[in-house]
Chain A
Amino acid sequence: MGDKLFSILVHLSVLVIALVFFAIVGDVAIKGFTAIQWDFIFTEPSRSGREGGVGPILVSTFLLLGICLSIVISLGLGTAIYLNEFTFHKSKFSKIIELSLDILAGVPSIVFGLFGNVLFCKILGLGFSILSGGLTLACMALPLFIRTAQSSLRGIPSEYRSGSKALGFSKATTLIKVTLPVAIPGIIAGLILSIGRAMAETAALIFTSGYVDRMPSSLLDSGRALSVHIYDLSMNISGGDLNAYRSAFLLIIGLLFINFSASTIIKKTLRVEN
């Protein structure tokens, strides 16, 4: 009896989750897919986005992501490696860093936005720009990425490291040729989560990269991200709903594409490695 009830509850919760997911995606897909055409992706928005496409906005979004990812991968991977491979058994210093990362991972994005606005836009004088926005996104995505990369490094059996050292490999060789290749699937998973968080971000960007919908001419130009565009169309522009749906549809397609390609990479690596 108890088992049956438990099984019904478990199935029910899965059903609810699946329903919510399909309701959201379905709604966006049905309304966004209707009348979407290729030139929507390439043309400039007109009449505040009510008409035209999202060309410049896609370019800004990719530039923001590019800046964010290059910082996240380099700094984040470095920190994760330091925390896992270079500090012995939970030193006080690494404990402090880990605690701050956990707190930062839970800080609301609007706080990051205001912080980025003060530091990058004002103090460093970058103004409302794609550079400021990308750097702010990086600050936001770093804690999550570092923690996932770190746990994937920690999950690697210590036998591989000791085996490598017993063969006379240096610390660097052990890391680059043995540890990192084994940890790659987990690190990519962390990267997807970070990309997802960055692509979906609105609040932090409004304060840093601004919402000019022109084609950006440099990284120091202001640029509007896709998520900001959706927010603006649906909240501030009357009659922008249709294009908001189309943009949301594109955003979801983009996220699904990233997820799919990353999981393919993971599966491929796993098949070769294991």
Chain B
Amino acid sequence: MLTSKETTYPWEKLPPKEDCCVDKKLIISVRNLTVQYDKKVALDGINLDINQGCITALVGPSGCGKSTLLLTLNRLVEEIPSATMQGDIQFDGKSVLSPSTNIRSLRSDIGLIFQKPNPFPFSIKKNLTLTLSEHGVKDRAEQDIIVEQSLRSVGLWDEVKDRLESSALKLSGGQQQRLCIARAIILKPKILLMDEPCSALDPVSSGIVEDLVSNMRGQYTIIIITHNLAQARRISDDMGVFWVKNDRGVLIEKGSTQDIFNNPKSEITKAYIGGIRG
């Protein structure tokens, strides 16, 4: 795998992978979740537990509802007018789908990183300060400190510290994606949802972002969609395998990544991870 050797990133000092995700405490539990777009059932009766501090990879072919699950976890799916949801999602002991949930604080607790990096077409700094101001941090000096911290924690500070006022769109794809991650973690989320964060990037950038994700284990609970099974195997602790059955998205297998790769229970999973199907 490709990594940049030029800079020492602060996250490299974090404890190694094994230490962070041992006591398996539940942070999210999804029960009987069904999501429909009009008549089309995108997700059918999903039950899934997410362990705190771990990286959970969601894999499966396109159109099996993985992205829909992410969008439902922070209720962004409601922006799609035809979407309806049934079932229950518990996060930190609260019901996510309840009408009384505060969407604003839910979305700052559960950040989302998109497949295509989507920084706002403003300056690098404004991408972060705008986010801070909207969440109540308006003091300039305080903002400056948090901006530096968050850029450091995604390894971007040294690369951009001299051009914070230049446009975020001038950054490379990988830098843009790390800026988006910085923009999400600036809100101190508990969970980061990532929808194929590396797939739109070149191999070098993809490697850097993957390292970053891998090293955020323990600090954040990460749910990541990936079509790259090798990547899922490298970075994730747990896995969920999605499939399309009768035109409905279903979860066919879940468990620890090691178990699923070494000892898949379902025939489809076996064929999928063996590269025969999917």
Q: Which residues of A contact B (CB under 8 A)?
A: 88-89, 157, 159-160, 162-170, 173, 177-178, 181-182, 272-274
Which one of B14-22, B99-107, B139-147, B154-162 contacts A?
B99-107
Q: Which residues of B contact A170 (CB under 8 A)?
A: 104
Say whether B76 contacts A163, CB under 8 Å. Answer: no
Interface string of B185-199 (1 = CB under 8 A from A): 001000000000000
- Besides A89-B81, A168-B107, 19 new A-B residue pairs in contact (Cβ under 8 A), listed by A number: A157-B118, A160-B120, A160-B121, A162-B76, A162-B79, A165-B79, A165-B107, A166-B112, A167-B107, A167-B108, A167-B111, A168-B105, A168-B134, A177-B134, A181-B122, A182-B121, A273-B122, A273-B167, A274-B121
28 contacts between A and B (CB under 8 A): A157-B118, A159-B118, A160-B121, A162-B76, A162-B118, A163-B118, A163-B119, A164-B120, A165-B76, A165-B79, A166-B74, A166-B112, A166-B184, A167-B108, A167-B187, A168-B103, A168-B107, A168-B134, A168-B135, A169-B134, A170-B104, A177-B130, A181-B122, A272-B123, A272-B167, A273-B121, A273-B122, A274-B167
**How long is the Cα–Cα vector from A87 to B131 in the complex, in angstroms?**
26
Secondary structure at the A interface, as helix, strand, loop or mixed, is: helix
Q: Which residues of B contact A (CB under 8 A)?
A: 74, 76, 79, 81, 103-108, 111-112, 114, 116, 118-123, 130-131, 134-135, 167, 169, 180, 183-184, 187
| Nearest Cβ on chain B to A176's Cβ, whole angstroms | 11
Q: Which residues of A contact B104 (CB under 8 A)?
A: 168, 170
**How long is the Cα–Cα vector from A182 to B74 in the complex, in angstroms?**
26
Known: A160-B118, A160-B121. A167 touches B134 (CB 8 A): yes
Q: Which residues of A contact B107 (CB under 8 A)?
A: 165-168
**How long is the Cα–Cα vector from A80 to B106 in the complex, in angstroms?**
31
Task: Give the residue among A167, A169, A274 with the most B Cβ atoms within 10 A.
Answer: A167
Known: A162-B76, A177-B130, A272-B167. A168 touches B187 (CB 8 A): yes
